[in-house]
Amino acid sequence: MWKINRKNYDDAKEIFIKYNGSHFQMEREFEYSKYKSYRVPKKLEQTWIYELEKIFFDKLEIEFDENTIVDILIDLKQIILQYKDEKGLSLIVKYANKNIVRFDSFTKLMLAEIILHIINKLNISSTQIDTINFARTVLEDICSQPIKIAESHFKNGCIPEYMSEDTLIDRAKKEIENWVD
C-alpha cells in the first residue's frame, strides 16, 4: 500500500498536472526526479489522467476560439497516446459529434487527423470502424464544401497567411487515402 503525506501528495499531483502527466516533459524541466521520488502508483496516475481529461473537456465545452480548441485537442491527443486511453478517444469523438457543425475547416481537419492518429498509434483500427468512418466523413466534407478558416488561426500563427485552400484540401485528401479500406 502506498503511503504519502498530504503535502507530498499535493506536490506530486501538481507536478503531474503541470506537465499533463508527461514524464518526458517533467524530465525536460528537471522535475522528473522529484516526481519519481514520490513513487506515485500507476493506478493513481490513471485517476489523475481522468481528472486532467475532465478539465480539458470542460474547457472545450465553454471554448469558442477555434485556435484554442485545436490546442486543447492536441494536448488531449498527447495524454491519450501516452496513457493508451481509448476512453479519451471516445470522449473526443463524442465532443466532435456534438460540435462539428460549428467548426471551421482547419479545426475539422485537425480534429479528424487527431482522431485517426490516435487510432493508428494505439493500433485499434479494427475496433474503431465507426470512428474511422466519422473522421473520413469529416475529411470528405472538407474536400467538398467551401473552405472556411477562423481568423484566430492566422492571428496566433497556427496557419501561415500564405496557406491556400488547396493545401488544406490536399491534406484532407492525403489523410483519406491513408485510410482507404
Q: Give the contacts of 119 (CB within 8 A, at least 6 positions apart).
A: 89, 125, 128, 131, 132
**What is the domain partition of the chain in residue ranges?**
65-178
Determine the Cα–Cα distance for residues 49 and 78; give it in Å rounded to an integer.
Answer: 11
> Which one, of 60, 157, 144, 161, lies nearest residue 102 by Cα?
60
Report yes or no: 100 and 92 within 8 Å, Cβ to Cβ: no
Cα first-last separation, the chain? 48
Determine the Cα–Cα distance for residues 138 and 136; give it in Å rounded to an integer.
Answer: 5
pTM (predicted TM-score)? 0.88
Per-residue pLDDT for the chain (181 aa), expressed as one digit of tens each? 567 788 989 999 999 999 999 999 999 999 999 999 999 999 999 999 999 999 999 999 898 889 899 999 999 999 999 999 899 999 999 999 999 999 999 999 999 999 999 999 999 988 889 999 999 999 999 999 999 988 888 887 778 777 778 999 999 999 999 886 5
